[in-house]
Amino acid sequence: MNSESQPIFDLEYALGVFDDEAEVLQSVIEAFFEETPKELGRLEQALASADLEGVERYSHRMAGSAGMIGATRFRSMAREIEGVAKGGALDGVETMTTRLQTEFAAFLELARGLDWSSVGKASKP
Amino acid sequence: MNTENVHANKVSDGASDICVFVVDDDPVMRIAIDKYLSAKHIRVVAIADGFDVLVALEKNQPDLIVSDIHMEKLDGLSLLEGLRNRAETKDIPVLFISSDSGSETMERARALGAKYFLIKPFQLSALFSLIRKILKQTSK
């Protein structure tokens, strides 16, 4: 499926992964916000030095954690980059990396804008 | 060993003395698993690379190792090989968590004696259930 057709934030899916523990999910999402800019920096560096293995590694890693927390569109974009690098080329990866940064910002805005007190087990009587 | 990436959570209520090593080069994945399992009263030692497991083993004897496969310094399969070659670690069960379900990796893992796999992304409750199942099988 094309990344554009995926939701930016699939909260229902993420709650399923975290067994409806919204507080734990929220803290892991915050860890994602802290770690991902560093990973994006590593990805850019790897790309600048045409380091195929590095591009594959960092995009693979970001896709893994994004998949857990429902950052679906980000995950899909990271997987696309990983796939291209795995194929032995970096064609189009620069544009894709820029889009990955845009998807990160979009996910951050949605997740931080959420009223977490109304989410998951904590919100239920 | 990178001490930033290796930490142990003490069991607060003494409900369990189970110790699990969680080995993954993705810090977010480590945090997610650590937080979830710690809430289930499992003592977690979170480790960033297979190589650092060997150092952590000097201080802790885990009941189970949950490990990623693809890591930079020492990957999960080489880690398994290393564990199986040492008398004191050969019986520690290893559960692999990876998004690589490719036949080549799986075949190599099985050839090395790997029995337990969970494909990423997975539900944390599924991880917890599998951990309980493995510990039961290995009589903990």
CA distance B64 to chain A (A): 21
Helix (H) or strand (E) holding B56, with range, is helix B50-56
**Nearest-angstrom CA–CA distance, A67 and A51:** 24
What pLDDT, in 10s, does the model give residues B51-87?
899 889 999 999 999 999 988 889 999 999 999 999 9
Instruction: Please state, in angstroms and as integers, the Cα–Cα distance from residue B59 to each residue in A68, B7, B21, B54, B89, following that order.
Output: 30, 12, 12, 10, 13
Residues 15-44 of A with CB under 8 A from B: 16-19, 21, 24, 27-28, 31-32, 35-36
CA angle A25, A102, A21 (to 5 degrees): 5
Between chains, do B28 and A69 touch, taking CB under 8 Å as contact? yes
pLDDT at B2 over 60: no
What pLDDT, in 10s, does the model give residues A30-54?
999 999 999 999 999 999 999 999 9
pLDDT at B15 over 60: no
Question: pLDDT value at position A5?
Answer: 83
B45 forms bridges with which residues in the sheet? B8, B21
**Nearest-angstrom CA–CA distance, A63 and A32:** 11
Q: In chain A, what's the furthest Cα-to-Cα distance?
A: 54
Which ranges of A21-123 does DSSP label H, i.e. alpha helix?
22-48, 52-68, 72-86, 93-112
For the entire predicted model, the pTM comes to: 0.87
Alpha carbon distance, N-terminus to C-terminus of chain A: 38
What pLDDT, in 10s, does the model give residues A50-66?
999 999 999 999 999 99
Complex-level ipTM: 0.87
Instruction: Please state, in angstroms and as integers, the Cα–Cα distance from residue B54 to each residue in B60, B62, B79, B80, B86, following that order.
Output: 10, 12, 9, 11, 11
pLDDT at B11 over 50: no
Asked if A61 reaches chain B (Cβ–Cβ under 8 Å), the answer is: yes
